Amino acid sequence: MIFIDTVNRLRQLPERDDTVFQRRRRTVSSNDSLTLSEAATYVQHITLTADAAFELTPVDSIIANILETLLEQFENQKLDVTALSQLAANQEDWELPLQTPPLEQAQDSPTDYTEHLKAQQKKGIEKRFEFTLLGKSNQQRKLMLLFRIQHLNTSAIQRLQGIPPNQQLTTPYSIEQLQSLPEHWTFEMDQDGEQQPLSSLYNNVSTRATYTISVPGLQIWYEKERDALPLLIADPNFGYVYIGNYGTGSTASEHQSPTIHHEGDIDTSA
């Protein structure tokens, strides 16, 4: 799949403190969230560019492999998550605009979603996983993952909910490296992305996914306390694409069970 040397400690966590990784700045209120009416209109527009890629880290590798493990079961087929920085390594002139999902969605607020989503918006749906990472000598590190569903069609929600909650991933890392990872992770899944987010690369990148995605516009974000980091997008030509190693500025727009074992496809040749 993607990556990465096993020598260095897993220091660079997805919380990335550098301000270029701050994707969404939340407005703090008494209950640390926006009201429904505020949240429905509060988004940020961000743009990824060719020169904004940072070197992939072992943590990027683990995140991408975790998402690949789940997406294979979600799609019920073998697939590869590709890193955008590798897919477009020789392309210098492209941009990927993204819009952060709103913190919440007002019940009766107007939306821009396609017709098949308008009647299928789901609120408050979550899916939890316990992920066992196997390191060298089969030593284990358990991670607790929470996926919050912003907008996802009914069929996709049912398939996500049907994935067994106990998962396992083999990695080439030592237990000391794996212990440096946070135990709890929160992600957002949102289907309101562009249907062809990487269309600007279609004419210049010949690589194509060998599988078909079932949820065009899918985005997965990593949630921090006050920010969100985009990790993955779905593109019909390139499949599921990892974007968690990109940094960029952002602009706020505001109208004032069984265990599944997966052998991680981690390339350790750096």
Q: What is the pLDDT of residues 163-210, one digit of tens each?
A: 999 999 999 998 988 998 999 999 999 998 889 999 999 998 999 999
**pLDDT for res 149:** 92
Whole-prediction pTM: 0.79
**pLDDT for res 42:** 52
**Tokens (6 digits) for 15:** 């919380």
**CA atoms 57, 61, 66, 67: torsion sign:** positive
199 assigned to some structural domain: yes
116 assigned to some structural domain: no
268 assigned to some structural domain: no
Decide if 218 contacts 239 (C-beta within 8 A).
Answer: no
**pLDDT for res 110:** 44
**pLDDT for res 63:** 94
Can you tell me the distance from the alpha carbon of 133 to that of 142, in angstroms, rounded to the nearest whole number?
6
150 assigned to some structural domain: yes
Biggest CA–CA distance in the chain, Å, is: 55
pLDDT of 243-260, one tens digit each? 999 876 544 444 334 455
The rounded radius of gyration (Å) of the Cα atoms in the chain is: 18
What is the tally of structural domains in the chain?
Answer: 1
Q: Would you call 58 helix, strand, or coil by DSSP?
A: helix
185 assigned to some structural domain: yes
| Average pLDDT value for residue range 129-158 | 94
C-alpha pair distances (Å), 72 with each of 68, 108, 159: 6, 34, 11
Q: Using 50, 70 and 90 to split pLDDT, how confident is the model at 227? A: confident
- β-bridge mates for residue 97, sequence order: 47
pLDDT of 22-81, one tens digit each? 554 443 333 443 333 343 445 577 888 888 888 888 899 999 999 999 999 999 999 999
113 assigned to some structural domain: no
**pLDDT for res 21:** 57
**pLDDT for res 98:** 83
**pLDDT for res 29:** 37
Of 39, 44, 40, the closest CA to residue 250 belongs to: 44
Walk across the sheet containing 166-170 and list its strands. 82-83, 239-242, 228-235, 219-223, 184-190, 140-151, 125-134, 166-170, 259-263
Can you tell me the distance from the alpha carbon of 238 to that of 245, in angstroms, rounded to the nearest whole number?
18
On the question of pLDDT at 132 being above 80, the answer is: yes
**Tokens (6 digits) for 98:** 């993204």
168 assigned to some structural domain: yes
Per-chain mean pLDDT for the chain:
77
The percent of residues above 70 in pLDDT, for the chain, comes to: 66
Range of the domain at 241: 19-25+38-99+124-263
Decide if 72 contacts 79 (C-beta within 8 A).
Answer: yes
179 assigned to some structural domain: yes
